Copies of this chain bind each other. A is one copy, B any other.
């Protein structure tokens, strides 16, 4: 019987990450990473009681040791199986301020999570994906998806410290796609363009129609569909936006 690989999602909370977790948990045991256990505890319980398999690991993705430790925990919990899907959904906070009022900390925050975290996460998952890529019985090629934003392709005024790390992440994703596709790993950069309809956006969204909001369930479905692409047809970049979005 083929070994059941796992999926890992970094950046899980009450928002998109929870929809991603539920979707991928239908197919794989999942490992959910977030700094704060409160971000995943209820979700882990929900998935496990719905017949799925989930563990949550308190992880600071911007800290190399913390990421390594998380993957040791995963290996122990899931018997060292390979990795089928990894989603990097962590992000530094949104910053918009006049450049001359910007502090290096504003830039660093985005950098630490968006870029360094993506490096640590990729380095931890890729070897486990290369193993999965060699498994002839694998249902889908192993897939790593990086969640980007409007600011991954635009750099508006007062957004220098937010867009910088996002553009860097897009570069990293593109480079990894080219390096690892020939080895059977599918790398995707997703440009999430719009305000997602999640609890923490409710105040911002209160006067906005449902169709002007990005559905977290729509994002989860698209990510899953990307994961199911075969070796003869990888998508390396998608944009996703609600129908009322201006772009």
Residues of A bordering B, CB below 8 Å = 64, 98-100, 102, 104, 107-108, 111, 115-116, 119-120, 122-123, 126-127, 141, 151, 155-161, 163-172, 174-176, 178-182, 184, 186, 197, 210-211, 213-215, 217-219, 221-222, 225, 228-247
In the complex, chain B residues whose CB is within 8 Å of the CB of A222: 225, 229, 233, 235
24 A-B residue pairs with Cβ-Cβ distance under 8 Å, sorted by A, are A99-B176, A99-B179, A102-B119, A104-B119, A107-B116, A107-B119, A141-B243, A155-B170, A155-B172, A157-B178, A160-B172, A160-B175, A160-B179, A161-B172, A163-B171, A164-B171, A167-B170, A182-B244, A215-B232, A218-B230, A221-B229, A222-B225, A225-B225, A235-B239
**Copies of this protein in the complex:** 4
Docked complex Cα distance between A244 and B183 (Å) = 8
Q: In the complex, A184 Cα to B244 Cα: how many Å?
A: 9
Asked whether B211 lies within 8 Å of A243 as measured between CB atoms, the reply is no
Q: In the bound complex, how far is the Cα of B241 from the Cα of A215, in angstroms? A: 27
Contacts of A176 in B (CB 8 A): 99, 160
Of the candidates A115, A210, A237, the one having the most CB atoms from chain B within 10 angstroms of its own CB is: A115
Return chain B residues, CB-CB under 8 Å to A241: 181, 233-234, 236
- Candidates B104, B159, B180, B236; contact of A175 at CB < 8 Å: B159
Question: When the two chains form their complex, are residues B116 and A102 in contact, meaning their CB atoms are under 8 A apart?
Answer: no
**Quick one: which of B64, B157, B171, B213 contacts A166, CB cutoff 8 A?**
B171
Q: CA separation between A172 and B95, bound complex, in Å?
A: 13
Question: What separation, in Å, do the CA atoms of A170 and B155 have in the docked complex?
Answer: 9
B123 and A175: CB pair below 8 A? no
CB distance from A231 to the nearest CB of B (A): 5
**With A107-B116, A217-B232 already in contact, 18 other A-B pairs whose C-beta atoms are closer than 8 Å:** A111-B111, A111-B115, A156-B178, A157-B179, A160-B175, A160-B176, A163-B171, A164-B169, A167-B168, A168-B168, A178-B246, A181-B245, A215-B230, A221-B228, A233-B242, A234-B241, A235-B238, A236-B241
Among A151, A175, A230, the one with the most B-chain Cβ atoms within 10 Å of its Cβ is A175
Evaluate whether A231 and B235 lie within 8 angstroms (CB atoms) in the complex, with A158-B175, A167-B170, A171-B163 already known. no
Contacting residues, chain B, for A228 (C-beta < 8 A): 221
| In the bound complex, CA of A182 to CA of B247 (Å) | 11
Contact of A242 among B115, B160, B234 (CB under 8 A): B234
